[in-house]
Amino acid sequence: MSAALGAHAPRLRLRLRNRGLDGVTLLVVPAVLFILALFIYPFLYGLLLSFEPKEGGALANYIAFFSDPFLYDTIGTTLLIAIPATLLNVVLSVPVAMRVRLMRHQKLLTAILVIPITLGTVLIAEGLLTYLGPRGWVNRVLVDFGITGSPIRLVHNYWGVLLSLVISGFPFTFLLTLSYVTGIDPALEQAGRMLGARSRARFWRIILPLLAPGLAVTTALSFVQAFSVFPSAVLLGAPAGPTRVISIAAYQAAFEAYDYSMASAIAMIMAAVQVIIVVALLAARGLLFRGPASSGKG
Amino acid sequence: MVVRPVGERLWSTCIWVLVGFFVVNLIGMIAAVVVNSFGTRWFTTWLPTGYTTRWYILAWNEFHLPDILLVTIQAVGAVVILSGIIGVPAAYAMARRDFPGKRAVMTLFLLPLLVPPITYGIPMATVLYQAHLAGSMLGVILANLVPTVPFVVLIMIPFIEQIDPRVEAAARVFGARTFRLFTQVLIPLLLPGILAALLLVLVRTIAMFELTFLTAGPTSQTLVVALYYAVFAAGVRPGQSIDAMAVVYMITTLIWLLIALRFVNPTQIVARAKR
């Protein structure tokens, strides 16, 4: 190290420290490098790769995707599963969360609801195959109580996948909603009650506007989860037909056709659809609920 | 005025019926797997005609369960330790320093938690295969670290913010460098938080299907991936032995969940750290 640099070094170090950069800040570097290398770089690499198809021009993969109904139909198929599942989960979560927040011993219920999230979709698929199958308990109840004449088909079709998304998605949506609902200051609702608002009015005029930002995030997250359904669509659905979701198409391109360029293109389309829906949801939130009511505790 | 409480009570009953219905079906689903794994024959009755444990012996041998369990322990153990080593110092820097670009770094940590694994998993697996890292234990570990490192960072930040900076200043005054500060002051103080974060990582990694599935080779399958292949090839083996394997998987996962729930609130598993 030269003398001139030595004289400058302390001043530089001081300047950096004043901006918040010192030895401690460097501790963040390994984590950042890791995420850059294994998350950001693969994404950019995949994006570039998708424009370098095995044959044809730069857009050949995308043209192939949007001209083959076997491929582009997967978007509609996935939306047809993901949107009802998300709406059902969110619409059921809000009243349940409103009720559970008043409970004193929430932990038992929340602990039970965390079980399906922890077990994961593969186990839920295997469990539902047994439980909803033609010899399973659900059909036994339906037949023995005379609700239906013969067992109804709930697995290896659309309904199996939808039900699996409710079993794994409802607890997720509910716990997120609960964490937002409990974040609303009860004093605000008390004030509404004292001013004579009935419970329905209190919900629509006070709670819901306060909950809306959180609810938009919850809806976005549960939609994204439902849209990327994979194991249960294969195991519990009809992966060749009605539940051929977009992740199956991407997986088959990558690991069955070994066309990584096409697989990357499908993955990018999948990400694009998710981004479009999430942005639309967050924009809708901005349109519907404005004003200072975004944070209950201020 | 008398009508309102009745309506409210009815409404609340409806909600409890709904929750009850969900929980009953959830328990039914799990019980169906457990009962089937012990049943001899189960066709047109409510319960199997007889009970046996031979499906477990079959599953133990046929699915190479000892090997799979060993791989699972190794992969999950490595992910837990590495995500702690990388994540906790990063969380410390994020909690204690205000540096330019901090918001961008925060977004960088949030992204892998918000984007679903199958979406980023396919490009990531492509890169790992081209670097000849996938198809092995190393690939599985690297892939699983992508969501767990940011997860540890986000969980640990509030824990670190709770610690009084004067404690650290005192340690510095007495001449402790960053490494000693960590080993002798911070880690003992942060132990409950680290334990909670790593237990959650453990539970999530055992159940992480997509990333492991995309990067595992034949000798690096974890329990959940092996279970997927077993269900996928259903018909090759008796359904009861697949369910026996599912029970082994459930026990492995739920034991750790029970331990984790002693330290964390269930909502934390989903809601992560609040900002």
- Name the minimum distance, in Å, from the CA of A203 to any CA of chain B: 13
Is A134 domain-assigned?
A: yes
> In this predicted model, what pLDDT tens digit does every residue of A47-72 receive, in sequence order?
999 998 888 888 899 999 999 888 89
Report pLDDT for B270.
Answer: 64
> In this predicted model, what pLDDT tens digit does every residue of A157-176 receive, in sequence order?
999 999 999 999 999 999 99
Chain B residue whose CA is closest to A199: B8
Contact (CB, 8 A) for B56 and B244: yes
Q: Does the structure show a pLDDT above 90 at A37?
A: yes
Chain B residue whose CA is closest to A34: B146
Cβ-based neighbours of B59, under 8 Å, separated by 6 or more: B65, B241, B242, B244, B245, B248
Contact check, Cβ <8 Å, B123/A107: no
Is A25 domain-assigned?
A: no
Is A251 domain-assigned?
A: yes
Dist. CA B91–CA B106, nearest whole Å = 10
Is A207 domain-assigned?
A: yes
Under the banding of pLDDT at 50, 70 and 90, the label for residue A293 is very low
Is A41 domain-assigned?
A: no
> In this predicted model, what pLDDT tens digit does every residue of B43-67 receive, in sequence order?
777 888 788 888 888 888 888 889 9
**First vs last Cα of chain B: how many Å apart?**
43
Dist. CA A83–CA A169, nearest whole Å = 12
* A-chain residues near B232 (CB < 8 A): 234-235
CATH of the domain at A124: 1.10.3720.10
Taking residue A193's Cβ as centre, other Cβ atoms within 10 Å add up to 14
Under the banding of pLDDT at 50, 70 and 90, the label for residue A297 is very low
Report pLDDT for A103.
Answer: 81
Q: Which domain holds residue A143?
A: 76-288
Under the banding of pLDDT at 50, 70 and 90, the label for residue B273 is very low
Among residues A87, A85, A88, A106, the alpha carbon closest in space to that of A97 is found at A106
Average model confidence (pLDDT) across chain B: 88
Under the banding of pLDDT at 50, 70 and 90, the label for residue B271 is low
Unique residue bearing structure tokens 């939609």: A223
Contact (CB, 8 A) for B231 and A125: yes
Taking residue A145's Cβ as centre, other Cβ atoms within 10 Å add up to 8
- Name the minimum distance, in Å, from the CA of B152 to any CA of chain A: 10
Average pLDDT over residues A206-216: 88
Q: Does the structure show a pLDDT above 90 at B139?
A: yes
* B-chain residues near A178 (CB < 8 A): 267
Beta-carbon-side half-sphere exposure of residue B120 (alpha carbons within 13 Å): 23
Residue B11 burial by Cβ neighbours in a 10 Å radius (0-12, 13-18, 19+)? middle
Two structure tokens written together for B181? 């500060």
What is the architecture, at CATH level 2, of domain B54-271? Orthogonal Bundle (1.10)
> In this predicted model, what pLDDT tens digit does every residue of B153-201 receive, in sequence order?
998 998 898 888 898 889 888 888 888 888 888 888 899 889 989 998 9
> In this predicted model, what pLDDT tens digit does every residue of A72-82 receive, in sequence order?
999 999 999 99
The long-range contacts involving A150-158, CB below 8 angstroms and separated by at least 24 positions, are A154/A128, A155/A128, A155/A129, A155/A236, A156/A236, A156/A237, A156/A238, A157/A237, A157/A238, A157/A242, A157/A243, A158/A80, A158/A81, A158/A237, A158/A238, A158/A242, A158/A243
Report pLDDT for B50.
Answer: 80
Q: Does the structure show a pLDDT above 70 at B232?
A: yes
Among residues B67, B107, B118, B170, the alpha carbon closest in space to that of A122 is found at B118
Is A40 domain-assigned?
A: no
Percent of chain B with pLDDT over 70: 95
Contact (CB, 8 A) for A35 and B149: yes
Q: Does the structure show a pLDDT above 90 at A122?
A: yes
**Tally of structural domains, chain A:** 1
CA angle B26, B31, B32 (to 5 degrees): 100
Average model confidence (pLDDT) across chain A: 86
3-state secondary structure of B11: helix
Domain with CATH 1.10.3720.10 in chain B: 54-271
Dist. CA A249–CA A263, nearest whole Å = 8
Is A21 domain-assigned?
A: no
* B-chain residues near A24 (CB < 8 A): 92-93, 96-97, 178
Is A47 domain-assigned?
A: no
Among A38, A130, A138, the residue with its CB nearest the CB of B146 is A38
Taking residue A248's Cβ as centre, other Cβ atoms within 10 Å add up to 22
Report pLDDT for A84.
Answer: 95
Under the banding of pLDDT at 50, 70 and 90, the label for residue B268 is low
The C-alpha torsion from A130 through A133 and A139 to A143, rounded to 10°, is -130
* A-chain residues near B203 (CB < 8 A): 118
Report pLDDT for B140.
Answer: 95
Contact (CB, 8 A) for A264 and A152: no
Q: Does the structure show a pLDDT above 50 at A14?
A: yes
